[in-house]
A = this chain, B = another copy of it.
Amino acid sequence: MSQHRHPGAPGRAGAVPALPDLPEATVARLPEYLRALHNLAESGHETVSSEGLASAAGVNSAKLRKDLSHLGSYGTRGVGYDVALLIEQIEYVLGLTHCRAVALVGVGNLGHALAGYDGFASRGFRIAALLDADRARVGEVINGLVVQHVDDLARVAAEESISIGVIATPASAAQPVADQLVAVGVTSILNFAPCVLSVPEGVDVRKVDLAIELQILSFHEHRKASLTALPATGGSALTALPGGLAATDTQEAIGT
């Protein structure tokens, strides 16, 4: 395991790209590393240590090193990682070496915002089509793109090579839209509608539900509040004492 080789995007000879099947948890963090690396590159850093990159990405350095080690050996002991090289590598692994076309379905409140979000373009994604089921919206121009009817999806997909579909419709419309996307060959879907989608095997769906995020935060607020409400006994009682749950479980003792 040495001999600093670069088997990734640059220099591969059309052979097997050698995509190691990374742990999901690692994949989920790579984009964060990538963002941090771009920041570092802009501020003139040429190399960065695992400690430095880890803190910029908000993770611990051991985790970062293990994550990067899954891509191969791109660091130099005693020095750190070459920022530019690492960017290249991560972008290759993530499949960002070429711009990916995104079809956005549903130009309501959220869809509008997504259509105008410049964070996509700056990170290798191009919104290639806006679609909506509401004929009243068809023809509207958003951010330089004309809204088309969702029934024209097949034609649109034929013109542009759609890589990813984004669903920003109400929940009731999401499943049919997903079916249409799958029908035209889309195998990756980002779903903002609050519902579960059923898709055939081989199609990846990621779900983002803004209300769920708030509810998770709400839980922690609730927990924190209930903690401070127990000045003396509370703090220790719920850190898993043997009798910690006695307050509720005593009833069981009575029952038996």
Contact = CB atoms under 8 A, between A and B. Distances in A.
A252 B73 CA distance: 11
Contact of A234 (B16, B58, B195, B240): B16
Interface string A100-133: 1010000001101110110110111100000000
B120 A214 contact: yes
B211 A5 contact: no
**Identical copies of this chain, number:** 2
A164 B225 CA distance: 13
A252 to B, nearest CB: 6
A209 B31 contact: yes
A91 to B, nearest CB: 9
A5 B124 CA distance: 54
A222 B187 CA distance: 11
Given A28-B216, A57-B196, A188-B221, A247 B210 contact: no
A254 to B, nearest CB: 8
A141 interface: no
Interface in A183-240: 187-190, 194-196, 202, 204, 206, 208-226, 230, 233-234, 237-240
A190 to B, nearest CB: 5
Interface size grouping (class) on chain A: 35 or more
B214 A35 contact: no
Nearest to A215: B31
A16 B232 CA distance: 12
Interface stretch (A17-25, A61-69, A76-84, A152-160): A17-25
Interface of A: 1-3, 5, 7, 15-22, 27-28, 30-32, 34-36, 56-58, 72, 93-96, 100, 102, 109-110, 112-114, 116-117, 119-120, 122-125, 163-164, 187-190, 194-196, 202, 204, 206, 208-226, 230, 233-234, 237-240, 245, 247-249, 251-252, 254-256
11 contacts: A3-B251, A3-B254, A3-B256, A19-B226, A21-B239, A22-B219, A32-B209, A56-B196, A109-B112, A113-B113, A123-B214
